[in-house]
Amino acid sequence: MNKQTFQSRVNRKAKQFDENIILTIDYKSIDKRDTYGFYLTNRTTKNNPMQLPDIGNFVDVYPDYFALDSEPGLFNKTKNTCICFFKEEQYIDKIDGLNNAIKYKDITLLKYYKKRYSGVKFFAPIDYSLNGDFDKETLLHNLKRQCLDFLWFTFEMNGICFPIMTYGNEESLSWCFEHIMIGSNVIVSLKMVMTGPERIMFLKALKVLVDTRKPKALLIYTVANRDSTIKMLDYAIQKGVRIIEIPNTLMIRNRGDK
| 3-class SS letters over 76-126 | CCCCCEEEECCCCHHHCCCCCCHHHHHHHCCHHHHHHHHHHCCCCCEECCC
pTM above 0.85, yes or no: yes
What local confidence, expressed as pLDDT, does residue 174 receive?
A: 95
Sign of the torsion angle spanned by Cα atoms 238, 182, 208, 82: positive
Report the domain count for the chain.
Answer: 1
Beta bridge partners of 219: 187, 244
d(CA 51, CA 213): 17
Mean pLDDT of the chain: 91
What local confidence, expressed as pLDDT, does residue 4 receive?
A: 61
The yes-or-no verdict on residue 6 having pLDDT over 60 is no
The yes-or-no verdict on residue 132 having pLDDT over 60 is no
47 in a domain, yes or no? no
**Nearest alpha carbon to residue 166 among 153, 179, 157:** 179
Half-sphere exposure of 144 (CA within 13 A, CB side): 18
Q: What range does the domain containing 59 cover? A: 53-253
Region 80-95: mean pLDDT is: 80
What local confidence, expressed as pLDDT, does residue 129 receive?
A: 73
25 in a domain, yes or no? no
CA angle 12, 32, 152 (to 5 degrees): 60
Q: How confident is the model at residue 100 (pLDDT cuts 50, 70, 90)?
A: very high
The yes-or-no verdict on residue 237 having pLDDT over 90 is yes
Percent of the chain with pLDDT over 90: 80
What local confidence, expressed as pLDDT, does residue 91 receive?
A: 59
24 in a domain, yes or no? no
Regarding predicted confidence, which is higher, 132 or 38? 38
What local confidence, expressed as pLDDT, does residue 2 receive?
A: 59
CATH of the domain at 233: 3.20.20
The yes-or-no verdict on residue 25 having pLDDT over 90 is yes
35 in a domain, yes or no? no
Percent of the chain with pLDDT over 70: 89
The bridge status of strand 65-68 relative to strand 160-161 is unpaired
The yes-or-no verdict on residue 3 having pLDDT over 80 is no
- CB 207 within 8 Å of CB 220: no
**Sheet holding 122-123: strands in order across?**
65-68, 81-84, 122-123, 160-161
Q: How confident is the model at residue 239 (pLDDT cuts 50, 70, 90)?
A: very high
What local confidence, expressed as pLDDT, does residue 194 receive?
A: 96
34 in a domain, yes or no? no
Orientation angle between helical segments 3-14 and 107-116, nearest 10 degrees:
40
C-alpha 202, offset from chain centre: 18
124 in a domain, yes or no? yes
